Amino acid sequence: MGVATASRVLRGDPQPLIGVKTRERVLDAARRLKYRHNLQARQLRTGRSEVVGILAWGLSGGVNLARYQAVERAIRAGGYRALMGHAAGDEELRLQLAKEFASSAVEGVIVLNTGGAHDAAVQVLVERGVPIVSMEPLEGLSADVVTVDRRAGAHLVTKHLLELGHRRIAFLCGKLTVPANAERFQGYREALGEHGCSPDEALLVRIARSDTWGHYGQGYEAGQRLLAVRPLPTAVFCNNDEVAIGAMRSLGEAGIRIPEDVAMAGFDDAEAAAYAPVPLTTLAQPVQEQAARAVSLLFERIAKPDEERQPHAIRLTPRLVVRASCGAAAGRKRICEH
C-alpha cells in the first residue's frame, strides 16, 4: 500500500477506487497507533482550510432543515467540512456571524436563506471578497444565486385551485418583505388575474409571526382568523406546509371539512405534508438539486478565485404534488368576485 493511499484514507477523502478492505486496514492501524489527523498542520502545509460556511437566517420549517442537510452532505462529498452559522432570526447575530466568516479561514459561504432581499450580512461577505452562493434572491449584490421559482410554483397551485372551480381563494402568508413570501404572493395574484379575478384583501391573511415563514401555531391562529371572513373562502393557499397543517386543524375544530367544505394547499412538500390528517396538496421544492448546484458553483469559485466572470443566476422549478386536501370542489360552480 502506498503512502498516498493511506494519507487519502486518513484525510477522509472520497476515493471510490480505494477498496473497503484497504480502508479498513488503514483505519485499524490508525486506531492501534492512536493516530489523530492534524487539521491545523494540514492547513499550514496546503494554505487552505477546506471549510465552507453555511449562513442561515433560520432553520424553522421542514424545507429549511432539509435544505441545510442537503447542503452539508454536498459540502462533505466534495471533501470539505461545513461550519454552520445559524442566526435564529436575529439580524444582529446574523451580521456578526457574517463578519466572523469573513475574518476566519472559511474558503466560501453558502447563504441558505435570508431575512430580506437587501441583506447586510451578505453584503459584508461580498465586500470582503468571500466567495458566496445564495439560495435566496439577492438585490444589488454581485453573487451567484441558485433559487427556486416560487412565483411559478404559487401560480401553478393557484391555477390548479382555479381549475377545480374555486374563485374565493385565501392566501395565508408571512411578511411580504421577505422575497420568498413576496414571490408566492405575486404568483397567486397573477393566476387570479388570468382567470378574471381580483385579489380580495379580506382573503389575504397575514401570519402573526415570531419568525419569517410561519409554523403550525401561526397557521392555527391564522385559520381562526380566517373563520371570521364572510363569505368563507372555498380554498386556502398557504405559504408553507406547516402553516397549512396548522390552519387545517383550526378549521377542522370549527367543523369545516377538508376538502369537502374548504380545499387546502401548501408549499414546500415537507415530510409532514403527506402525513397530515388530510394529505396535503403542495409544491415540492427541488431541494437536493438546489443544494448540489449551489455547492458545485461555490467549489468552482473557490477553485478559481482570480477568474472574473458574470454571476450565475439559476432558477429551478417546483413540482405540483396533488393529494386529497384539494379534491372537493371539482364539480361545484364558483362565482368570480371582483
Q: Which cell numbers hold the place of 285?
A: 421544492
Does position 25 have pLDDT exceeding 60, yes or no?
yes
Q: What is residue 104's predicted lDDT score, i.e. its pLDDT?
A: 84
What string of DSSP letters covers 28-65? HHHHHTT----HHHHHHHHS---EEEEEES---SHHHH
pLDDT digits (tens, 9 = 90+) for 84-140: 999 887 888 989 999 999 888 899 999 998 766 667 888 899 888 899 999 988 877
For domain 48-149+286-317, the CATH architecture is: 3-Layer(aba) Sandwich (3.40)
Q: Judge contact between 52 and 131, C-beta under 8 A.
A: no
Percent of the chain scoring above 90 in pLDDT: 57
Crossing angle for the helix pair 150-163 and 179-194, nearest 10 degrees? 40
Q: Give the pLDDT of residue 209.
A: 59
All three cell numbers of 141, joined, read: 449584490
pTM over 0.75: yes
Find the helix or strand (DSSP H, E) in which 69 lies.
helix 62-77
Report the candidate in 5, 122, 105, 130 with the shortest Cα–Cα distance to residue 46: 105
β 263-265/108-113 pair status: unpaired
pLDDT, residue 36, reads 54
Joined together, the cell numbers standing for residue 103 give 475574518
Is-same-fold flag (48-149+286-317; 150-285+321-326)? yes
What nine digits make up the cell of 188? 397567486
Cell numbers 402568508 correspond to 173
Q: Which CATH architecture has domain 150-285+321-326?
A: 3-Layer(aba) Sandwich (3.40)
Question: Which residue's entry shows cell 477553485?
Answer: 303
Domain limits, the chain: 3-37, 48-149+286-317, 150-285+321-326
Do 315 and 174 contact (CB within 8 A), yes or no?
A: no
Question: Is residue 87 exposed (0-12), middle (13-18) or buried (19+ Cβ within 10 Å)?
Answer: buried
Measured distance CA(117)–CA(6) in Å, rounded: 47
Element (H, E) at 70: helix 62-77
In degrees rounded to 5, what are phi and psi of residue 266?
A: -120, -160
Q: Each residue of 226-254: pLDDT tens digit?
A: 999 999 999 999 999 999 999 999 999 99
Q: How buried is 138 (Cβ within 10 angstroms: 0-12 exposed, 13-18 middle, 19+ buried)?
A: buried
